Amino acid sequence: MALKLLWLHADGHCQCHLSLLLRLVACLALVLLLPPPPAQAATVVTHLPGFDGPLPFYLETGYVGVEEETGTELFYYFVESERSPRSDVVLLWLSGGPRCSVFSGFVYEIGPVMFVAERYSGGTVPRLEYNPYSWTKLASILFVDSPVGSGFSYAHDPKGYDVGDISSSMQIVKFLRKWLDDHPKYLSNPFYIGGDSYAGKVVPLITQYLSEGIEEMRHPIINLKVGYLVGNPSAGDKIDVNSRVPYSHSFGVISDQLYEAALANCKGDYENPTNKPCTDVMQTINNLMSEVLEPACPFDWPWPMPGRDASNRKSLTEEHYWLGDPPVEPPFSCFAAYRYYLSYFWANDNATRAALGIKEGTVTEWIRCATGLPYTRDLPSSIECHFNVTTRGYRALVYSGDHDPIVPFSGTQAWIRSLNFSIVDDWRAWHLDGQAAGFTIKYANNLTFATIKGGCHIPPENRPKESFIMAKRWLAGGPL
């Protein structure tokens, strides 16, 4: 009954301006008359298929409705901090794509479990083990499948899938508000939002919406200490794509002659070649960039394969997709790619679905990155949002794996510089175990940029320890 009362207040259906007693009586009467609220269907998960024994952390999954007309519900995995959940940061995390399931963040990046490195031959589900570098040792993490159509998030009405940067960001704000209404014990924790790759483009927009809400006291509930972090973040296609050519040159992937030919023929716009010499040189450059740097893992390299996808623009939305649905088995020797393949069998198993509380008839086939749905890129660039929120006092960490040709660190570094913030802590190495783990610079307005040496497009995937330490130092408020 107490829960139902809370729900009535939360949705504003019981605006009784009476004495507390009268209010209680009135609300009770309403509760008795009304059907039960639509289940915010939370499932406490104590065991996961493939994981040996009870989970050594608190995991809850569930759905939050974000659009009534289309019956849109976003699915989430919430892991409580394994350190001090009462005081640790609550971090809302999003994966890129757009429309890669946040299960990627949960199982390959910063989440508490990972696939055991062994070949899968069917039968039971692929096995999982504990991730020693899980960021859930630092923060409670709310992993959200967004935009709708990612992972287990769904809409009853197909029209619900037609979202874009702006509408999906607004849905996250709504999601968060409702989720916190249902989980009031986290209201006083510092709140952060994070994401990588394409999600890095919308994270500052969502932060801006939240900050506006806080300023107008529409969301007085969220702790003012909101900040954000983004990894190898898309800033807008033009910026990301145009930085790939100078990056590949400085990285020794293309020759001086090719670089000069690109400069002369493309006039700085590598995204949409408008003449044949530019198209030709870009084809050569793309082919060279599709060569594998390290290790020899063709499926792991999220880059357009020659002849498969001539357009760079498309490749960013299709990172890692070429495993197919259902996926083809990649070489086991390339476990980084092989584990993408495993997720399909894990997530589509009935035991998994039962454990996670997946609603029947919603998502019949889970795919890691759902590309076939409409998506509107209606935020051309996120730079202004970064400016808006950092100058409003919200802390930001932008990090880049420096071995990433999709969103090269050089492009990221350049747009950060274009904000014209003064330097507070000048460019220097940051260290781990006596070695440089990357380089960093801190600007005014609490904006930190850091590289992770050797990190790929998603640094926690191949530099888990460095990424973990970086997050730990930054979340604690200190220098890297």
Ligand X SMILES: *[C@@H]1O[C@H](CO)[C@@H](O)[C@H](O)[C@H]1NC(C)=O
**Rounded least distance, CB 189 to ligand X, Å:** 14
Residue 167 interacting with ligand X (CB under 6 A)? no
Say if CB 346 and CB 352 are below 8 A apart: yes
Say if CB 234 and CB 316 are below 8 A apart: yes
C-alpha–C-alpha distance, residues 461 and 109, integer Å: 5
Q: Is 249 a known active-site residue?
A: no
Any idea how long the chain is? 480
Q: Is 386 a known active-site residue?
A: no
Closest by CA position to 327, among listed 120, 153, 74, 50: 120
C-alpha–C-alpha distance, residues 461 and 95, integer Å: 13
Candidate list 81, 197, 234, 382, residue with the active-site label? 197
Q: How crowded is the C-beta side of 112, counted as CA atoms within 13 Å? A: 23
**Rounded least distance, CB 186 to ligand X, Å:** 18
Burial 208-218 (b: 16+ CB within 10 A, else e): bbbbebbeeee
- Residues touching ligand X, count (CB under 6 A): 15
C-alpha–C-alpha distance, residues 480 and 471, integer Å: 9
H-run or E-run covering 314: helix 312-317
C-alpha–C-alpha distance, residues 69 and 67, integer Å: 6
Contacting range for ligand X; rule: CB under 6 A; set: 120-128, 215-223, 412-420, 447-455 = 412-420
Among 15, 19, 257, 420, binds ligand X (CB under 6 A): 420
Q: What residues between 45 and 74 interact with ligand X by CB under 6 A?
A: none
| CB closer to ligand X out of 413 and 445 | 445
Q: What residues between 350 and 409 interact with ligand X by CB under 6 A?
A: 350, 360, 384-385, 387-388, 393, 395
User: Could you tell me whether strands 435-443 and 423-432 are parallel, antiparallel, or unpaired per DSSP bridges?
Assistant: antiparallel
| CB closer to ligand X out of 92 and 289 | 92
| CB closer to ligand X out of 99 and 395 | 395
| CB closer to ligand X out of 4 and 392 | 392
| CB closer to ligand X out of 104 and 412 | 412
Q: Is 431 a known active-site residue?
A: no
| CB closer to ligand X out of 30 and 351 | 351
Q: 59 — alpha (psi -120 to 50), left (phi > 0) or beta?
A: beta
Q: What residues between 439 and 458 interact with ligand X by CB under 6 A?
A: 445-446
**Rounded least distance, CB 420 to ligand X, Å:** 4
**Rounded least distance, CB 389 to ligand X, Å:** 9
Q: What residues between 321 and 350 interact with ligand X by CB under 6 A?
A: 350
**Rounded least distance, CB 438 to ligand X, Å:** 22
| CB closer to ligand X out of 280 and 365 | 365
Three-class SS of residue 394?
coil
C-alpha–C-alpha distance, residues 81 and 370, integer Å: 29
* 233: preceding bond cis by omega (within 30 degrees): no
C-alpha–C-alpha distance, residues 39 and 355, integer Å: 17
Query: Tokens 């960013």 label which residue?
Result: 316
Candidate list 290, 386, 404, 467, residue with the active-site label? 404
Structure token digits, residue 236: 């807008």
C-alpha–C-alpha distance, residues 293 and 456, integer Å: 10
Three-class SS of residue 66?
strand
Among 208, 242, 290, 462, binds ligand X (CB under 6 A): 208
Contacting range for ligand X; rule: CB under 6 A; set: 37-45, 128-136, 300-308, 416-424 = 416-424
**Rounded least distance, CB 418 to ligand X, Å:** 6
Q: Which residues bind ligand X (CB under 6 A)?
A: 208, 350, 360, 384-385, 387-388, 393, 395, 418-420, 445-446, 477
Catalytic positions: 197, 404, 457
